[in-house]
């Protein structure tokens, strides 16, 4: 996928102050795209791309963001990594309201996400269709271009003054804005307010990394085993490798009957360890990922051995997480935003502080001693230019006057 294409459009309040931006995803031909099974990897890539620092570049630091959601987006766990304080999930008007979809809407609402209804035409048919959702809806985007005036007024009377805010969608002229303002709408969107602006994002994030981070988040947030199994079932490749790993390490010959069985028998700490190893060994595109994996495992085991009995699992995870930045080739602070890890682990990974800090320092010292011996034993094989690049990349300058040619 050659990057991501989208349009952004402002949503304002009655004083024309920016309240939010709506993002609509496009393909290379500028056609709107929806999430679907065939676009699952793309969906994960899109969501992960707007889940971090890229979002601030597009809409600023504080603006809320409306994104369209359908059955697939809501039920496949794609949205879990997003920030509930920033994102408004815009339910499409033609969504099929299955029991599973409604259950997910309730779940996301409990997690603090806001919901809006898209292209609400104010008809009796649409009111009946979404009747069950009004307790969970925060904003109704009433399409003034397709709504009959009489129906529009009835819906305004029904919801004005209630918890639900009303947004006038299709405000394409000054007259539209003034009419909707006098009717009592809370928010406004349309060509008069702002014309959609095209944005292109380089799609550099690896969808599998997003999936694994999301799964780690689910485990650490103490979601139910049922929720965890449901997420894993949506990742057949990952599930297969997990079951294969379980079969290889199980002391008894156990016939696997379900993912719940595997999760229960492995335990969450062992599952977390396996996911981190999976990240290092299979997700990274770096040619040295195998070596980094070995280094990370050795560091984790070293710190586990030094830790008190009650902290051994945490020490192991802290050691593994301390090298994730190398695999993802990004700032570790950005990665840690996606997972709610233990305070001691977070403190070590981000600031090298806390109860595991001295153990990490000893592990790093041992690593550097070993690597120094390897370097000196093989120094004649190394190109001096490679050494110079390495030093310069780490801010270490070469004193050219100290190099004397004989």
For residue 194, what pLDDT is reported?
Answer: 94
Handedness of CA 10, 14, 19, 22 (dihedral sign): negative
Instruction: Kindly report, as residue ranges, where domains of CATH 3.20.20.450 are found in the chain.
Output: 4-201
For residue 40, what pLDDT is reported?
Answer: 47
For residue 223, what pLDDT is reported?
Answer: 62
Per-residue pLDDT of the chain (406 residues; tens, 9 = 90+): 455 677 899 999 999 999 999 988 766 556 666 554 434 444 554 555 565 566 777 888 788 999 988 887 787 766 766 778 889 999 999 999 999 999 999 999 998 999 999 999 999 999 999 999 999 999 999 999 999 989 999 999 999 889 999 999 999 999 999 999 999 999 999 999 999 988 876 554 455 666 676 677 777 666 677 777 776 766 656 666 677 667 665 544 666 666 777 778 778 777 877 777 776 666 555 566 667 777 888 888 899 999 998 888 888 878 887 877 766 656 677 667 656 677 888 888 888 899 999 999 999 999 888 888 888 888 888 787 777 767 776 677 777 666 665 5
Longest CA span, the chain: 95
Q: What are φ and ψ of residue 142, in 5° steps?
A: -85, 115
- At the fourth CATH level, the homologous superfamily of domain 4-201 is EAL domain (3.20.20.450)
Task: Assess contact for 71 and 121: CB atoms under 8 A.
Answer: no
For residue 255, what pLDDT is reported?
Answer: 66
**Angle at which helices 268-278 and 207-220 cross, to 10°:** 160
Between CA 335 and CA 337 the distance in angstroms is 5
Task: Assess contact for 88 and 117: CB atoms under 8 A.
Answer: no
For residue 43, what pLDDT is reported?
Answer: 52
For residue 42, what pLDDT is reported?
Answer: 46
For residue 178, what pLDDT is reported?
Answer: 96
Between CA 47 and CA 82 the distance in angstroms is 8
> SS3 of 77, please?
coil
For residue 263, what pLDDT is reported?
Answer: 78
For residue 370, what pLDDT is reported?
Answer: 86
Closest by Cα among 368, 209, 365, 203 to 280 = 209
**pTM of the model as a whole:** 0.57
Closest by Cα among 278, 282, 284, 322 to 300 = 322
Provide the β-strand partners of residue 23: 8, 67
| Strand-pair category, 64-69 with 87-91 | parallel
Handedness of CA 227, 229, 233, 237 (dihedral sign): positive
């Amino acid at each position: 996928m050659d990057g991501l294409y989208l349009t952004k459009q402002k949503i304002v309040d009655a004083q024309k102050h920016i309240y939010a931006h709506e993002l609509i995803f496009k393909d290379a031909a500028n056609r709107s795209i929806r999430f679907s099974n065939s676009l699952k990897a793309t969906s994960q890539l899109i969501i992960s791309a707007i889940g971090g620092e890229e979002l601030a570049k597009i809409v600023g630091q504080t603006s809320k963001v409306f994104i369209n959601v359908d059955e697939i987006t809501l039920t496949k766990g794609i949205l879990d990594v997003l920030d509930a304080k920033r994102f408004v999930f815009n339910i499409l008007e033609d969504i099929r309201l299955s029991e599973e979809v409604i259950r997910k809407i309730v779940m996301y609402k409990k997690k603090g996400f806001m919901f809006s209804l898209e292209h609400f035409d104010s008809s009796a048919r649409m009111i009946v269709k979404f009747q069950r959702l009004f307790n969970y809806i925060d904003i109704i985007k009433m399409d003034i271009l397709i709504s009959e005036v009489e129906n529009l007024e009835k819906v305004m009377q029904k919801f004005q003054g209630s918890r639900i805010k009303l947004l006038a969608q299709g405000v394409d002229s000054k007259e539209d804005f003034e009419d909707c303002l006098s009717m009592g709408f809370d928010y406004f969107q349309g060509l008069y307010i702002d014309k959609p602006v095209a944005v292109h994002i380089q799609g550099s994030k690896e969808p599998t990394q997003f999936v694994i981070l999301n799964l780690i988040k689910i485990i650490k947030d103490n979601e139910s085993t049922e929720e965890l199994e449901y997420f894993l079932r949506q990742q057949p490749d990952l599930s297969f490798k997990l079951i294969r790993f379980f079969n290889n390490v199980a002391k008894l010959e156990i016939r696997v009957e379900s993912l719940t069985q595997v999760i229960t028998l492995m335990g969450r700490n062992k599952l977390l360890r396996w996911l981190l190893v999976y990240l290092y060994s299979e997700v990274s595109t770096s040619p040295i990922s195998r070596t980094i994996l070995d280094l990370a495992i050795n560091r984790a085991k070293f710190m586990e051995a030094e830790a008190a009995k009650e902290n051994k699992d945490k020490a192991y995870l802290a050691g593994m997480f301390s090298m994730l930045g190398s695999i993802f080739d990004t700032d570790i602070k950005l990665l840690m935003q996606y997972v709610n890890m233990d305070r001691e682990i977070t403190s070590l990974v981000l600031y090298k502080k806390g109860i595991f800090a001295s153990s990490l320092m000893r592990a790093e010292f041992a690593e550097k001693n070993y690597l120094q011996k390897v370097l000196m034993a093989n120094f004649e094989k190394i190109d001096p230019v490679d050494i110079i690049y390495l030093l310069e990349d780490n801010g270490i300058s070469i004193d050219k006057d100290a190099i004397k040619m004989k």
